[in-house]
């Protein structure tokens, strides 16, 4: 199987995990407890993958300074996009009029797509660096998508528009395979970009975790559940690394 086919197939896991997140949103509704625990898991798994896998791999390949530059560019690009787009957080959708709610739901979908494209980069370029690392990153991102999609689906669910809800889930799920394809094409032309893309994706995902997901979890309260989700992410990450990379649990 070629690297391109393997990367695309791995990135398609995001489709399944996105639908699982949406299904949970439909079943559980606007549950602060579920969001707090889920976001804790999501934050943990993204920071672990970004800081313990992608960034060190890039640093070995291109050196510390270029890695930090690409890391900062990834974080800076997402920050710029959020500054230019009127991105509205989940907590602000409660109790607003229907028209405003629909507008907010669209904005949240756009924000989620901005998050997902760098995750596609991470999948593709991690696989090109090492198939085992690519598989680890892909599974971790798929698991992370479930609580993230759950949290982001709630505003669309409150609009009572199934078309908006499922359309949003499909677009956000397809953003990761699209990002993976872009990463593959770019590194096909300039192979040296691979390590830069890994660092770029790590910076983008770190920014999203700290700037977007942490404040969202804090506003929903339930600190203990957030901490439990965070702790669970560490256990899941170590188990995945032990199975896929052969590291000690």
Q: Based on the number of CB atoms within 10 Å of its own CB, is 6 exposed (0-12), middle (13-18) or buried (19 or more)?
A: middle
Token look-up 């797509």 returns: 113
Confidence label for 97 from pLDDT (cuts 50, 70 and 90): very low
Q: What is the DSSP string of 114-151?
A: HHHHHHHHHHHHHHHH-HHHHHHHHHHHHHHHHHHHHH
Q: What angle do CA 32, 36, 39 make, to 5 degrees?
A: 130
Domain of residue 38 covers: 3-245
Q: What is the pTM of this model?
A: 0.72
Confidence label for 72 from pLDDT (cuts 50, 70 and 90): very high
Phi-psi category of 240—alpha, beta or left, where left has phi over 0 and alpha has psi -120 to 50?
alpha
Number of domains in the chain: 1
- What's the pLDDT at 90? 43
For 130-149, what is each residue's pLDDT tens digit?
Answer: 888 888 888 888 887 787 77
Distance of CA 44 to the CA centre of its chain: 11
- What's the pLDDT at 110? 64
For 175-214, what is each residue's pLDDT tens digit?
Answer: 888 888 888 888 888 878 888 888 988 898 888 888 877 7
Q: What is the mean pLDDT of residues 11-32?
A: 77
- What's the pLDDT at 42? 80
């Amino acid at each position: 199987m070629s690297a391109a086919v393997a990367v695309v197939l791995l990135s398609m896991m995001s489709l399944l995990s996105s639908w699982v997140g949406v299904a949970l949103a439909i079943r559980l509704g606007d549950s602060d407890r579920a969001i707090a625990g889920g976001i804790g898991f999501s934050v943990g798994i993204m920071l672990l993958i970004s800081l313990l896998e992608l960034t060190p791999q890039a640093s070995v390949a291109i050196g510390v300074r270029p890695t930090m530059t690409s890391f900062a560019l990834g974080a800076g690009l997402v920050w710029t996009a959020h500054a230019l787009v009127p991105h509205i957080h989940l907590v602000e959708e409660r109790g607003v009029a229907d028209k405003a709610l629909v507008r907010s739901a669209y904005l949240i979908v756009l924000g989620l797509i901005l998050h997902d494209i760098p995750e596609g980069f991470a999948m593709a370029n991690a696989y090109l660096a090492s198939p085992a690392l690519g598989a680890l990153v892909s599974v971790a991102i798929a698991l992370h998508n479930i609580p993230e999609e759950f949290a982001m689906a709630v505003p669309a669910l409150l609009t009572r528009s199934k078309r908006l809800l499922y359309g949003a889930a499909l677009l956000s799920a397809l953003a990761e395979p699209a990002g993976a394809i872009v990463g593959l094409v770019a590194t096909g032309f300039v192979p040296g970009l691979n390590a830069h893309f890994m660092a770029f994706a790590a910076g983008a995902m770190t920014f999203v975790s700290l700037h977007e997901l942490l404040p969202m979890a804090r506003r929903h309260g339930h600190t203990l559940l957030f901490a439990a989700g965070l702790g669970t992410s560490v256990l899941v990450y170590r188990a995945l690394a032990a199975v896929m990379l052969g590291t000690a649990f």
